[in-house]
Structure 1
């Protein structure tokens, strides 16, 4: 991108202590598993430690100094996240444990709506209603909707995949129709790397009056996100994939929807008034944050947001996205040089991110099992992910039992891509190719 400051990757890597690890005795760690979880910079590690050392207390309602400090830090993290994703209102940011809980929160609101008043009508489902997902979903954006349809009698439908790993939108108007009540889909696939046309799908959902839910687990950590500009109703992502701690995720929802959406969990923090006969509920976001929240993790996530937005002289996520785009293009070029390698997903660096799944064949042309590929690479210090990546329908669509996946982040280098290519040559030699 013209005029955009470049990310100084070698300088960035100095912020991540784990990248200095030596494994298996003498092998420098080559970490290519960032789609599963990212590594953490010192700024995040320090923020969590400082919270516990200096400010540890429960948040909200406490009047002593530690409680006030903890509350200020926790709510400041909400402000940072809201700005990071372009949320118009800080009250639209709900903290959850992870993306899975965020997506379940919305799905359960649909089945809980039957017990609430007329204001919850947008969230009622019944036999004859339809829920639409896609064939490339992570299980966290598939199973909750299957369960919802089982609870309500609604019908689950989905958009399929093309042979090259893109969403097949040729029948979008037929699948998303006046019976559709919710359309939930991934922004960027964790297995294929495909970046989906959110605005196109969301526009069709609006035409038929359906709500849109987007799984941004693989997009928010890697590219600038503007939830208001996307035109969606809900957006979920997780902290541990964007250089933040585990145990913290985010659900963003339009405020007018959150205000009428039934709660997911009941207990402390999420209530307004309680009697033995019944309860009323707090306004959002606290209505959806029952119990003691993930305070230290929220503080760590706020630090991660500060770190990411401050990169490349303030270019932030735009610089991260540019670096990862160039890295993905380089990786796609290098990987096709490996004999017997087949990429599952888009082979061109257009509308795709840095998660590349592939199969590797031996000398007889038969695929080497991904678990064997991963184990031999690990012996060379190269960390990749193997399996169906919680996206088994994708593997079924392409007729493969599993894949090997290499995935990148802001700290990944072209030298690590070269190491992967050399490592895959070593795998083929190991199996006699």
Structure 2
């Protein structure tokens, strides 16, 4: 599959916005969907819409087979050891909250330390914040280096004998920083701590192997990897998941129900109460097929090339501040920036009139905005269907915006 022609696989990318060809650069928020994923959802609802695991009729069996086949695809995609380690959730946020309530809330105690960073998305900050309050644990932050990376010496210094749990993003959705997860996991395990990885910004951009990372938990969302919204994954090591209690009760997660007590199904179903997210899971399976057809190495090389080109072009604009590491090897396809005297929301609104979609705001990272000493930033994020031409449109749009706002201030 030729990446130069890949936009043709995405119906939404063929449209015009405000009289201009759509240039979609908000992929860190959500990715667009190829027609094959859309067709998969349509086929499910039109031909075998049924509840998995509950009926012996033809439609129910077909839905069950497709749902569990999607779980197998996820297992292979992240190289989990067992299918039982793959739990379907509503998304990264739900996955992390499951860990916060079922693991941290049950197995950590007063005085234990939870370690995170200031670059975390709110979904990987608030669950630990609230769990710490509830059990009397101590929430601590690994200091960031000035360029928005993590120094392993700071990790070591932040850990103590009381450090029991670490949760960290694989790739920052603001800084683009790719964190050294392998090394952090090794340090944590020496200390006897469990590690959870927010992989929302990594699994669809380069190869993620959970056995190689050796992390204990890993969470990600389908909608950021060309799958449907409302579906996500929690990977957990089987020996840990087996001891964790479910946090939602009813429906398909039960084994036996009596009047005064009940027992639960085995993994992974004990964490999937109620009607499963059937269409979402099946659509995610198709998205994985699409990604693997292209190849994660191909996608990573493409995004590095785009990031390097964008960094060069943006850096040449007077009055621009770019956040995060400048080395493309240290970052994903996310570039966050500000233009002097132009509010990010104003810039995003101006660019939208040119058909260019970027993100503006705090990006669900208010503590990081405080660390950067800004209230908001603009963000361009790339994916496999973006091109250097898209970046040229962005650069020209920013230059137009600068002239427009400079003239406006001059009035």
TM (normalized to structure 2)?
0.97
> Does residue 187 of structure 2 align to residue 198 of structure 1?
no
Separation in 1, partners of 2:379, 2:251 = 41
Structure 1 segments of 4 or more deviating over 3 A? none
1:10 is the counterpart of 2:10: no
For structure 2, the 5+ residue unaligned runs are: none
Q: Deviations over 1:4-42 (max 9, x none)?
A: xxx622321110011111111x21101000000000000
Match runs of 1:77-156 below 5 Å: 77-110=70-103, 113=106, 124-156=107-139
**Kept in 2: contact 1:110–1:148 (CA 8 A):** no
Question: What does residue 120 of structure 1 align with?
Answer: none
Cα deviation per residue 1:62-94 (whole Å; 9 max; x = unaligned)?
100000000000000000111111111111100
Task: Give CA deviations for 1:178-236 in whole Å, capped at 9, x if unaligned.
Answer: 20111000000000000000011101110111110000000001111101100100000
Match of 1:341 among 320, 325, 331: 320
Q: Is 2:379 the counterpart of 1:405?
A: yes
Q: 1:419 aligns with which of 386, 393, 396?
A: 393
Partner SS, residue 251 of structure 2: coil
Q: Deviations over 1:250-309 (max 9, x none)?
A: 000111111111112111111111112111111111011110010001110000001110
**Equivalent residue in structure 2 for 1:238, among 194, 203, 221:** 221
Q: How does 1:346-365 map to 2 (within 5 A)?
A: 346-361=325-340
Candidates 259, 272, 276, aligned match of 2:242:
259
- Name the SS of the counterpart of 1:429 in structure 2: helix
Alpha-carbon separation, structure 2, partners of 1:387 and 1:170: 32
Work out the CA distance in 1 between the residues paired with 2:199 and 2:43: 29
SS in 2 for 1:137: coil
94 and 402 in structure 1: CA distance in 2 versus 1, 3 angstrom threshold: same
Asked if structure 2 preserves the Cα contact closer than 8 Å seen for 1:332 and 1:348, the reply is no
**Please, which of 346, 366, 376 is the counterpart of residue 392 of structure 1?**
366
1:158-196 deviations in Å (ceiling 9; x for gaps): 112111111243332231222011100000000000000
User: Is contact 1:111-1:151 (8 Å) kept?
Assistant: no
After TM superposition, give the deviation of residue 397 of structure 1 in Å.
0.5
* 1:31 and 2:54 are equivalent in the alignment: no
Per the alignment, residue 292 of structure 1 pairs with 275
**Counterparts of 1:308 and 1:417, CA distance in 2:** 23
More helix by share: 2
Q: Within the alignment, does 1:380 sit opposite 2:349 as a pair?
A: no
Could you say which residue in structure 2 is the equivalent of 1:121?
none
Name the TM-score, length of structure 1 as normaliser. 0.92
- The question of whether the paired residues in 1 share the 8 Å contact of 2:105 and 2:135 is answered with no
Name the SS of the counterpart of 1:359 in structure 2: strand
Alignment deviations for residues 303-345 of structure 1 (CA, whole Å, 9 cap, x no partner): 000111011xxxx111111111111111111111111111011
Aligned match of 1:59: 52
Aligned residue for 1:177, secondary structure, equals coil
Pairing partner for 2:207 from 206, 213, 224? 224
The answer to whether 1:430 aligns with 2:372 is: no
CA contact (8 A) 1:245 1:297 kept: yes
Contact 1:98 1:250 in 2 (8 A): yes
Measure, in 2, the Cα distance between the counterparts of 1:408 and 1:345. Answer: 16
Which deviations, in whole Å up to 9, do the C-alpha atoms of 1:95-139 show, x marking residues without a partner? 0000000000000013553xxxxxxxxxx1221111111110000
Of residues 59, 70, 91 in structure 1, which corresponds to 2:63?
Answer: 70
Distance (whole Å) between structure 2 residues aligned to residue 335 and residue 168 of structure 1: 27
